Chain A
Amino acid sequence: MKLIFYYILGAFSLLLVSCKNNETLPYLGQTVVENGKEIHHKVGQFSHYNQDSVLMDNSSLSEYVYVADFFFTSCPSICPKVAKQMLRIYDTVKDEPMVKLVSFTIDPKRDDVKKLRLYADNLGIDHNKWYFLTGDKEATLELANTYFVAAFEDADAPGGFDHSGKILLVDKDGHVRSFSEGTDPENTPKIIEDIKKLVASYKAENK
C-alpha cells in the first residue's frame, strides 16, 4: 500500500516537473546564489568582426535571442552537417526579428572577414540575420567553453581543430537556455521549439 502511494507521488511530481519545463526553459550551467539572489551562468565577453567588417560584442546582441555555433570554413568533418542544421533553423526564424544566428570561427587565421563574407554569400543568407564572427583565436577558444563547446587546436584532427558541433540557444541576457547536437538532424526540431518558447516568453513579458 505504501509502495503504491510512493509510486503515485513519484508519478505526480514527475508530471509537475515536466509541466514546469513546458513553461520556461531551464538555465544551463552552474547557478550560484549570492545575497539570496540566483545568478545564472552567462556566456563570455567577445569582441569580434562580422562578415561585413562590423565590430560586434555582447551588447550588439542584447536585444536579441540568438542561436550560436562554432565552426571553421575549411572544416572537412562535422561543420557542413552542423551548418545544414543552422540553415534549417535560419529558415524557420527568418521572419522573426527577435532571433539572430551567430557562427564563431575557431580558425581566424584562415577565416578572415573576406572569407566569411564569401561563405555567407554562398550560403545565401541575410547578412543582418546571421553573423559570421572572427576574432582572436585564443579568446574564441576560451569563449567556446562558456558556450559549453569544447574547441581546441589539434594537429591530428581533420582540418587542425577538434571541436564539438553543438548549437546553443542564448537569451537576451546571455544565458544559455537550450542546445542541440548539430550533427544529429533529429535534434533540430527540439531546439526550434525552444526558440519559439523563448521568443514567446519575451513577447508575453512585454504585454
Chain B
Amino acid sequence: MTKGLNRFIKCFLGGFLTISVIFSCNDSPYMQGKRLYLANCANCHMEDGSGLSALIPSIQKSVYLGKPEIACILKNGLRDTIFKDSTFLVREMPAFKKFSATEITNIVNFVNHSWNTSFKETTITQIEDAINICQ
C-alpha cells in the first residue's frame, strides 16, 4: 500500500516537473532581455516587434536580426533620412546610453530568439566588440 502511494507520488512529481518544464520553455529564456524590451522598446516597435508601417521599422523583418552591430544603434540611437524614389523616411531612434553590454546582449538575444528563424545566441564578447568599433 505504501509502495503504491510512493509510486503515485513519484509519478505525480515527475509529471508535474515535465509539465512545468514544457510551460516554462514556451516563454523566452531571456527574461531580462524580455523585461527590458517591454519597458524600453515595445512602445514603438510593439510587443510583437511588428513596428508601425514605414514610420517605425519592424524588428521581425529587420536586416539587423542576428547581427551584433545592432548594439551600436541601441547605444547611440539613430537619426537619418533615407530617400527612396519620391518618398523618404525619417528614421529617428533615441539613444539608450544607460544600457550595459550585458543588458544589450540580453535584449539582442531575446529579440533574435523571438523573431530570428535561424537563431544563434549572441555572446557578450561579440556585443562588446561591436560597441568598441562603433564609437
Q: Which residues of A contact B (CB under 8 A)?
A: 76-78, 80-81, 83-84, 87, 118-119, 121-124
State the 4 A-B residue pairs at the shortest beta-carbon distance, nearest first: A122-B54, A122-B55, A80-B44, A124-B53
Residue in chain A with minimal CB distance to B42: A81
Q: Which residues of B contact A (CB under 8 A)?
A: 43-44, 46, 52-56, 87-90, 94
**Closest CB in chain A relative to B96 CB, distance in Å:** 12
Residue in chain A with minimal CB distance to B88: A118
Could you tell me the distance between the alpha carbons of A124 and B87 in the complex, rounded to whole angstroms?
Answer: 11
Residue in chain A with minimal CB distance to B44: A80
Q: Report yes or no: B43 in contact with A84, Cβ–Cβ below 8 A.
A: no
**Closest CB in chain A relative to B89 CB, distance in Å:** 6
Q: Please judge, given known A-B contacts A76-B94, A118-B90, whether A124 and B46 are in contact too, CB under 8 Å.
A: no
Q: Report yes or no: B90 in contact with A80, Cβ–Cβ below 8 A.
A: no
Interface contacts (Cβ under 8 Å), in number, total 35
Identify which of B52, B89, B94 contacts A87 (C-beta below 8 A): B52
- The main secondary structure of chain A at its interface with chain B is helix
- Residue among A77, A80, A118, A123 with most chain B CB within 10 A: A80
Could you tell me the distance between the alpha carbons of A83 and B43 in the complex, rounded to whole angstroms?
Answer: 11
Residue in chain B with minimal CB distance to A125: B53
Which chain B positions have C-beta within 8 A of A76?
43-44, 94
Q: Report yes or no: A119 in contact with B55, Cβ–Cβ below 8 A.
A: yes
Could you tell me the distance between the alpha carbons of A84 and B50 in the complex, rounded to whole angstroms?
Answer: 10
Residue in chain B with minimal CB distance to A81: B43
Could you tell me the distance between the alpha carbons of A81 and B42 in the complex, rounded to whole angstroms?
Answer: 9
**Closest CB in chain B relative to A167 CB, distance in Å:** 15
Q: Please judge, given known A-B contacts A76-B94, A118-B90, whether A123 and B52 are in contact too, CB under 8 Å.
A: yes
Could you tell me the distance between the alpha carbons of A119 and B90 in the complex, rounded to whole angstroms?
Answer: 9
**Closest CB in chain A relative to B119 CB, distance in Å:** 26
Identify which of A77, A81, A121, A123 contacts B46 (C-beta below 8 A): A81
Q: Report yes or no: A84 in contact with B52, Cβ–Cβ below 8 A.
A: yes
Apart from A87-B53, A118-B88, what are 6 other A-B pairs with CB-CB below 8 Å?
A77-B43, A80-B52, A122-B89, A122-B90, A124-B53, A124-B54
Could you tell me the distance between the alpha carbons of A87 and B90 in the complex, rounded to whole angstroms?
Answer: 19
Q: Report yes or no: B53 in contact with A80, Cβ–Cβ below 8 A.
A: no
Q: Report yes or no: A83 in contact with B90, Cβ–Cβ below 8 A.
A: no
**Closest CB in chain B relative to A112 CB, distance in Å:** 14
Q: Report yes or no: A123 in contact with B43, Cβ–Cβ below 8 A.
A: no
Q: Report yes or no: A83 in contact with B87, Cβ–Cβ below 8 A.
A: no
**Closest CB in chain B relative to A132 CB, distance in Å:** 12
Could you tell me the distance between the alpha carbons of A81 and B94 in the complex, rounded to whole angstroms?
Answer: 17
Which chain A positions have C-beta within 8 A of B56?
80
Which chain B positions have C-beta within 8 A of A80?
43-44, 46, 52, 55-56
